[in-house]
């Protein structure tokens, strides 16, 4: 016994350490999958942008200052890059910042925007924090550690924040979106991390590149989901300015105009984009190998991949049966896809009871060893009509058939959510980064963009159309309502004109003689969706025209000009 313990003494294991070891079990760490330190931050999911009221404009302004004409030399530099050169006590800079930074908005353009609000609170707060930080750093003489550890930074600010806030106006309380200390040093750190994310990887194949310096490296991503709760936890109201696009001469472009303008605009980085495309085209044989070996290929990355895939289709698939699916097409159905296979490719005449039956038929056809390969190209596997559970499992089922090969592109940031593990194994997919940075002109052409004229113009034209067919009295009733609504457009509590008021006014103008006739008119309007009635809190029916005030204004102007002419 004694000998055994003596042997134990020779190997020095302090009892404390032993206790620690008992607690900490050794895990198998996914070092190869996630890299050496699994929790290293990245800008992808990181919470690195403080939400400021005028953040966007500040950023734009800073760029303008950097790259713009020297037309604004007298501008005192708006504080962003300047810190007090001497460290002061934490109290003083905060008062300084309040009085000192009235944020001279130098640029004329922005002055229009910002005139209502002088220095935004969050902006001042940010500056304050920055100064605090400098002071804090001087005090705590451990600057290196701080750079590495963001949590330390945050905690130090959360300590200093409350006392500052208590001195602030109460007004600011409502917009207290928490700003974690955004140090200028943090971002470069991440930057370098991202760029040097793949140290041990060397391209196994050297391609000749058209003037490209180096091979594109893989991107790394590690996420922090907790930030969601940090940013959405306090449900303070969102503060944005009240500007609308109607401030512009042409608030919205028509789709045709947009297309013609865009086609005339030269895209930037044309040469680099082509080089990028060229590089991806070198991967074609590999994709083809993957496909033929029974894998599916999923292409991801920014930029429309339609051109790239079409090239692939032309070069490699001309000799095979293949179908091309535009997943972004808004009225695509699964039935379309399957019918194309059965009718056009297999030449099967006959109908199917269900999708399942059709799938089984296809499966039966293509599992035969004599069957010829079928390639399915899907632009946007995550398209609006293919996202659904049913279509995904059907396509996955197709992908699992031996002679059917799928090449698909995905674009939406949340697209991987539609693949669960069994579906993924059916797809048997390999991922390929195919970033082209090409504009998504075709893909977005089916989308309802806010900046493109659509619903507005449609509503106005249909309004005019209906209006023309009305009797003079009915026109009068409608104009009365429209005029009233326009008068009230600045009243945010406006809920509509009550029926009784309406009746009174119509009577006064000799538009109706009884409330029954008015009701009959209103019913007609309602049928044409020109008005909407809502019951108010007091149970009285209120009438509203469900149109934007701008459109309404245009409409009334037009009516008046018609009357004049």
Q: How many residues in total does the chain contain? A: 565
CB nearer to other proteins: pick between 214 and 468: 214
Closest approach, Cβ 96 to other proteins, in A, equals 25
Spatial separation of the C-alpha atoms in residues 116 and 107, rounded to whole Å: 15
Residue 61 interacting with other proteins (CB under 8 A)? yes
Spatial separation of the C-alpha atoms in residues 421 and 414, rounded to whole Å: 16
Find the binding residues for other proteins in span 518-547 (CB under 8 A): none
Spatial separation of the C-alpha atoms in residues 395 and 355, rounded to whole Å: 11
Q: Is 467 helix (H, G, I), strand (E, B) or coil?
A: helix
Residue 493 interacting with other proteins (CB under 8 A)? no
Residue 431 interacting with other proteins (CB under 8 A)? yes
Find the binding residues for other proteins in span 458-487 (CB under 8 A): none
Residue position matching structure tokens 């029974």: 294
Contacting range for other proteins; rule: CB under 8 A; set: 150-158, 241-249, 471-479, 506-514? 241-249
Residue 258 interacting with other proteins (CB under 8 A)? yes
* Secondary-structure breakdown of the chain: helix, strand, coil percentages, each rounded to the nearest 5: 50, 5, 45
Q: Is 563 helix (H, G, I), strand (E, B) or coil?
A: helix
Spatial separation of the C-alpha atoms in residues 7 and 170, rounded to whole Å: 70
Among 95, 310, 483, 514, indicate the residue that binds other proteins (CB under 8 A): 310
Half-sphere exposure of 252 (CA within 13 A, CB side): 16
Among 232, 469, 492, 565, indicate the residue that binds other proteins (CB under 8 A): 232
Contact yes or no for 439/503 (Cβ under 8 A): no
Among 435, 488, 498, 533, indicate the residue that binds other proteins (CB under 8 A): 435
CB nearer to other proteins: pick between 122 and 132: 122
Spatial separation of the C-alpha atoms in residues 338 and 323, rounded to whole Å: 10
CB nearer to other proteins: pick between 161 and 411: 411
Contact yes or no for 311/420 (Cβ under 8 A): no
Question: Could you write out the DSSP letters of every residue in 177-227?
Answer: -------TTHHHHHHHHHHTS-TT---SSPPP-SS--SPPPPP-----TTH
Among 442, 501, 515, 524, indicate the residue that binds other proteins (CB under 8 A): 442
Among 281, 415, 486, 551, indicate the residue that binds other proteins (CB under 8 A): 415
Among 76, 364, 388, 416, indicate the residue that binds other proteins (CB under 8 A): 416
Find the binding residues for other proteins in span 108-127 (CB under 8 A): 108-113
Among 159, 261, 509, 520, indicate the residue that binds other proteins (CB under 8 A): 261
Q: Annotate 159-182 with b (16+ C-beta within 10 A) or e (fewer).
A: ebbeebeeebeeeeeebebebbbb
Contact yes or no for 302/435 (Cβ under 8 A): yes
Q: How many residues of this chain interact with other proteins, rule: CB under 8 A?
A: 183
Among 146, 153, 161, 443, indicate the residue that binds other proteins (CB under 8 A): 443
Find the binding residues for other proteins in span 154-193 (CB under 8 A): 177, 184, 187-188, 190-191
Residue 342-371 contact track with other proteins, rule CB under 8 A, x = bound: --xx-------xx-x-------------x-
Residue 254 interacting with other proteins (CB under 8 A)? no
State both tokens at 417: 């959510």
Find the binding residues for other proteins in span 264-303 (CB under 8 A): 264-265, 268-269, 272-273, 275-276, 285-286, 288-290, 292-293, 295, 298, 300-303
Among 176, 281, 323, 486, indicate the residue that binds other proteins (CB under 8 A): 323
Q: Which of 378, 384, 361, 385 minimizes the C-alpha distance to 427?
A: 378
Among 117, 134, 176, 253, indicate the residue that binds other proteins (CB under 8 A): 253
Among 196, 449, 454, 514, indicate the residue that binds other proteins (CB under 8 A): 449
CB nearer to other proteins: pick between 55 and 100: 55
CB nearer to other proteins: pick between 402 and 513: 402
CB nearer to other proteins: pick between 272 and 562: 272
Residue 240 interacting with other proteins (CB under 8 A)? yes
**Phi, psi angles (nearest 5°) of residue 324:** -115, 130
Find the binding residues for other proteins in span 13-32 (CB under 8 A): 21, 25-26, 28, 30-32
Residue 324 interacting with other proteins (CB under 8 A)? yes
Contact yes or no for 393/424 (Cβ under 8 A): no
Residue position matching structure tokens 């007609």: 524
Residue 10 interacting with other proteins (CB under 8 A)? yes
Q: Interhelix angle for 515-527 vs 472-487, to 10°?
A: 80
Q: Which of 185, 129, 118, 199 minimizes the C-alpha distance to 162?
A: 129
Residue 86 interacting with other proteins (CB under 8 A)? no
Question: Could you write out the DSSP letters of every residue in 22-46?
Answer: HHSPPP---HHHH-SSTT---TTT-
């Amino acid at each position: 016994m004694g000998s055994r313990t003596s042997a134990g003494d020779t190997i020095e294991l302090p009892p404390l350490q032993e206790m620690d070891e008992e607690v900490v079990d050794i895990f198998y760490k996914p070092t190869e999958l996630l890299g050496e330190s699994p929790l290293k931050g990245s800008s992808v999911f990181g919470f690195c942008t403080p939400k400021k009221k005028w953040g966007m404009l500040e950023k734009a302004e800073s760029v303008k200052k950097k790259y713009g004409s020297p037309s604004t030399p007298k501008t005192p530099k708006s504080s962003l890059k300047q810190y007090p050169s001497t460290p002061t006590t934490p109290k003083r800079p905060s008062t300084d910042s309040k009085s000192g930074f009235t944020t001279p908005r130098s640029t004329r353009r922005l002055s229009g925007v910002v005139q209502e609000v002088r220095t935004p609170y969050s902006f001042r707060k940010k500056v304050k924090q920055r100064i605090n930080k400098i002071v804090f750093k001087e005090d705590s003489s451990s600057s290196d550690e701080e750079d590495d550890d963001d949590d330390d930074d945050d905690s130090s600010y959360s300590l200093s924040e409350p006392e500052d806030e208590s001195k602030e106006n109460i007004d600011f309380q409502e917009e207290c979106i928490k700003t974690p200390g955004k140090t200028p040093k943090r971002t470069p750190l991440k930057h370098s991390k991202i760029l040097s994310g793949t140290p041990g990887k060397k391209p196994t194949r050297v391609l000749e590149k058209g003037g490209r310096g180096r091979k594109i490296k893989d991107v790394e991503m590690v996420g922090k989901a907790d930030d969601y709760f940090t940013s959405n936890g306090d449900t303070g109201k969102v503060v944005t300015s009240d500007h609308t696009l109607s401030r512009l001469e042409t608030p919205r472009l028509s789709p045709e105009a947009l297309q013609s303008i865009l086609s005339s605009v030269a895209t930037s980085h044309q040469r680099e984009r082509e080089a990028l495309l060229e590089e991806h085209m070198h991967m074609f044989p590999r994709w083809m190998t993957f496909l033929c070996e029974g894998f599916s290929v999923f292409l991801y990355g920014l930029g429309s991949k339609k051109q790239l895939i079409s090239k692939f289709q032309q070069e490699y698939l001309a000799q095979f049966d293949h179908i091309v699916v535009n997943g972004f097409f808004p009225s695509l159905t699964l039935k379309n896809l399957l019918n194309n296979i059965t009718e056009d490719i297999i030449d099967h005449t006959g109908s199917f009871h269900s999708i399942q039956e059709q799938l089984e038929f296809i499966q039966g056809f293509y599992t035969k060893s004599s069957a010829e390969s079928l390639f399915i190209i899907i632009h946007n596997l995550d398209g609006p009509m293919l996202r659904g559970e049913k279509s995904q499992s059907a396509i996955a089922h197709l992908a699992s058939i031996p002679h059917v090969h799928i090449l698909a592109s995905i674009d939406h940031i949340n697209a991987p959510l539609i693949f669960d593990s069994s579906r993924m194994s059916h797809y048997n997919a390999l991922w390929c980064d195919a970033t082209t940075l090409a504009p998504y002109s075709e893909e977005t052409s089916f989308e309802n963009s806010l900046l493109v004229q659509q619903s507005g113009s449609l509503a106005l034209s249909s309004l005019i159309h209906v209006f023309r067919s009305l009797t003079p009295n009915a026109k009068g009733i409608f104009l009365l309502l429209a005029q009233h609504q326009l008068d009230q457009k600045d009243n945010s509590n406006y809920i509509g004109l009550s029926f009784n008021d309406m009746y009174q006014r119509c009577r006064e103008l000799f538009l109706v003689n009884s409330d029954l006739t008015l009701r009959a008119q209103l019913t007609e309007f309602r049928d044409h969706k020109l008005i909407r009635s809502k019951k108010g809190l007091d149970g009285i029916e209120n009438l509203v025209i469900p149109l934007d005030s701008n459109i309404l204004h245009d409409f009334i102007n037009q009516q008046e000009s018609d009357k004049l002419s």
